[in-house]
Homo-oligomer: A and B are copies of this chain.
Amino acid sequence: MKINDIPVREVEENYVNIHPIQAAGRLTAEAMKALIAYGDGYSTCDQCRKPFRLDKITKPPIAEFHSDLAKFLNMDEARVTPGARRAFQAVCLSLAEKGDIVLVSALAHYTEFLAVENARAAVKEVPLNKDNVVTGDAVAQKIEEVTREEGKKPALVMLDHFDYSFANEHDIAGAAKAAHQYDVPILYNGAYTVGIKPVDGKALGVDFVVGSGHKSMASPAPSGVLATTSEYADQVLRTTQMIGDVTGRKFGIKEVEMLGCTLMGANLLAMMASFPTIQRRINDWQEYVAKSNIVINAILDIKGNKCLSEHPRKHTLTKVDTTGSFDKIATTHKRRGFFFSDELKQRGVVGEFAGATRTWKLNTYGLTWDQTSYVADVFKEIAGKYDLL
């Protein structure tokens, strides 16, 4: 099937998908309906009235969604953004400038680096402990080191709760306490938490919570959320001060870092449509973690395999090392590493990095119990076929 020259995507219809970044971004049925109803360009603007800002629109209930989002994350203000990266960008541009240092984790996602670079500031990394985890002490130590070397403290700390590489859990509450001892604001990167597990910004003590709609909130790309406290709202959500020198024009309450109206159209409405499901499903997080451990333990039952992420798992995303098993087969197989993809696909499982048989990632988020047993069995079955058990 094709739309013009575009192949129709049928991954979620025909397979069990364990792709590391796709699992929690699959749409709900409600989101799909919202996409269809609000697909047209400026579909959200039918009832836009004074003060002419997207997050104030009440029909459809966009204003209410914004306030629900803030409550959901236990923060004071929330805005939707075209992806988590655009939220990092807004915070970096408003808090950091040329010559400033922003601290990120040694496992930070590249978009955090780019957001800092975009603000003409520079990144320094907080090192990991021996378990590949960022601790509060490491944050404190790095703040001191940077302050000593640069003659001023960092402008911001950005820290992932679960990182994109191992999905290890990092000590956000400890990091927030450390950052605040030095009066440095801290951004919580919840790209791998917001929308799948409960997140309480105030309890963690962070100044910003960022989430990804298309990664973890069952929403289309691009979509994301930026939440903050009353303390930082004035700065990061500052309204325009520009005045036209010829016309005297002013632009009211349009927010500079949001570039006025933020995420609109189908993506916003799909986020809204998925939100009731999101609010429910975060309560099932421990069930999904348990399923993750079932699959990972099955992989570990195969001789030579290792789990590179912390174990037992606290997340559904995991990095495994199959150099001692599947990769041995790949070295002599005529399809090389693709033999493994072929075997998985024949059994209806996709989403691993095609051709990779050394270190690779999988995400079991959203699997039913039946699918969990099935995926666990598939790995063992393939191992059995190649005498790896």
Contacts and interface: CB of A to CB of B under 8 A. Distances in A.
A237 interface: no
Interface stretch (A170-178, A196-204, A265-273, A323-331): A265-273
A126 B245 CA distance: 9
Question: Nearest 10 pairs between A and B by C-beta?
Answer: A25-B41, A221-B265, A41-B214, A82-B82, A125-B246, A221-B264, A220-B266, A110-B251, A85-B259, A8-B37
| Among A5, A21, A33, A42, residue most surrounded by chain B Cβ atoms (within 10 Å) | A42
Given A110-B254, A125-B246, A222-B263, 15 more contacts: A3-B30, A6-B269, A9-B46, A21-B41, A24-B41, A35-B220, A42-B215, A93-B93, A106-B244, A110-B260, A114-B251, A117-B240, A118-B257, A118-B259, A222-B265
| Among A11, A30, A111, A117, residue most surrounded by chain B Cβ atoms (within 10 Å) | A117
Interface in A144-190: none
| Among A9, A19, A83, residue most surrounded by chain B Cβ atoms (within 10 Å) | A9
A209 interface: no
Interface in A43-98: 43-46, 59-61, 82-83, 85-86, 89, 93, 97-98
Given A7-B59, A85-B259, A247 B113 contact: no
A213 to B, nearest CB: 7
B117 A266 contact: no
A9 B270 CA distance: 13
A126 B257 CA distance: 25
Given A6-B61, A221-B267, A251 B113 contact: yes
A150 to B, nearest CB: 12
Contacts of A19: 42, 45-46
B9 A22 contact: no
Contacts of A220: 35, 38-41, 43, 265-267
18 contacts: A3-B37, A5-B61, A22-B41, A25-B42, A27-B41, A35-B220, A41-B218, A41-B221, A86-B86, A93-B93, A110-B240, A111-B260, A117-B241, A118-B257, A125-B246, A214-B265, A220-B267, A221-B264
Contact of A125 (B111, B214, B247, B256): B247
Interface string A100-140: 00000010101101111110101111110000000000000
Given A93-B118, A220-B266, A40 B25 contact: yes
A43 to B, nearest CB: 6
Contacts of A389: none
A215 B265 CA distance: 11
A30 to B, nearest CB: 5
Contact of A34 (B6, B83, B249, B264): B6
A71 to B, nearest CB: 16
A116 B230 CA distance: 26
A264 B40 contact: no
